[in-house]
């Protein structure tokens, strides 16, 4: 049986090579993620349609408020306040 003498320098070199090998894999995965990024563009016609829908919703809410028929959903308000409180954000004073 033959036993090879291991020096501290060779241990460091082997550890460094293992470290380099492990760090190369995540970098490749990040590059693949960036390549998979897609961009979506909304046509001018679709933007106009969305804006018209927003305007109609705003007019509907304005008329409900003016008529006194608008009702606030207290459960939704409470849920939003609780989520905001749990997030720990501070209100700008």
**Per residue in 45-68, pLDDT tens?**
999 999 999 999 999 999 999 999
- Structural domain containing residue 67: 44-87
Instruction: Give how many domains the chain has, as a whole number.
Output: 1
- Measured CA to CA, the distance from residue 18 to residue 67 in angstroms comes to 72
Do the domain assignments include residue 49? yes
Do the domain assignments include residue 14? no
DSSP classification of residue 36:
T
What is the pLDDT, as a whole number, of residue 18? 74
Do the domain assignments include residue 70? yes
What is the pLDDT, as a whole number, of residue 2? 59
Q: What's the chain's average pLDDT?
A: 80
Do the domain assignments include residue 6? no
Do the domain assignments include residue 50? yes
Both structure tokens of 87: 């997030």
């Amino acid at each position: 049986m033959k036993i090879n003498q291991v020096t501290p320098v060779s241990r460091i070199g082997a550890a460094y090579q293992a470290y380099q090998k492990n760090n190369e894999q995540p970098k490749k995965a990040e590059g693949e993620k960036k390549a998979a990024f897609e961009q979506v563009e909304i046509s001018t016609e679709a933007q106009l349609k969305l804006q018209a829908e927003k305007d109609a919703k705003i007019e509907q809410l304005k008329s409900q408020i003016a008529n006194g028929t608008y009702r606030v959903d207290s459960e939704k308000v409470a849920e939003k306040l609780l989520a905001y409180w749990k997030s720990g954000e501070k209100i700008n004073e």
